[in-house]
Amino acid sequence: MRGYWIVGIVLVFASCKTSKVTTDSGNTYQNYREDIQLSSLPQYPDYTQQLNESSRANLTSSDNTVDKDLNQVKTRLIEKNKSEPYYSGYTILVYSGIDRDRAFKTQSELNEYFPDLNPEMQYQQPRYLVKVGKYNYKFESQKNFSLIKSQFPTARIIQDRFQREGFVTPLEKDNAEGKN
């Protein structure tokens, strides 16, 4: 056991090293010189003229290519949208409930307070819905919503699906031809 103590003490003293303070007066680097002459630096070719010429040539061709691609995508989206009978949007729901008389009263009050808006009533069993407007984006409905909210505090903006104007579903087409 005593041997361990001696080894431990020797290790402690051996690990303690005296620190040496170094002082540089700056004289060491006083005669240092770096050669920064153009002959010692690497030479790179000047690409600005080539870059300007190639960017002018690519600008017109890439613009036409991108425009052509965008027009094709836009045409495909328009055709796809025309083929779908419904689109998603937003409407202002003023009343939702099972009281038929209350729904008609709400619709007539909307016509009285806001004659320029066209409220419509829908019946989704077992409830009546009084809605105003068909908006593609929520922010489009904000102006009318704030007006309606002043008179009808329970009004809210909801997501809805609308049938495209002029789109005739196959069932409507058959009924129009007299096939029931």
Over residues 108-123, the pLDDT tens digits come to 999 999 999 999 999 9
Just give the CATH number of 88-171. Answer: 3.30.70.1070
The per-residue DSSP string of 122-165 comes to EEETTEEEEEEEEESSGGGGHHHHHHHHHH-TT-EEEEEEEEPT
pLDDT (mean) for 154-171: 83
pTM, two decimals, is 0.53
Over residues 51-62, the pLDDT tens digits come to 877 766 665 556
Q: Where are the domains of the chain?
A: 88-171
User: What is the model's pLDDT at position 84?
Assistant: 83
The dihedral sign for the CA sequence 112, 125, 155, 92 = negative
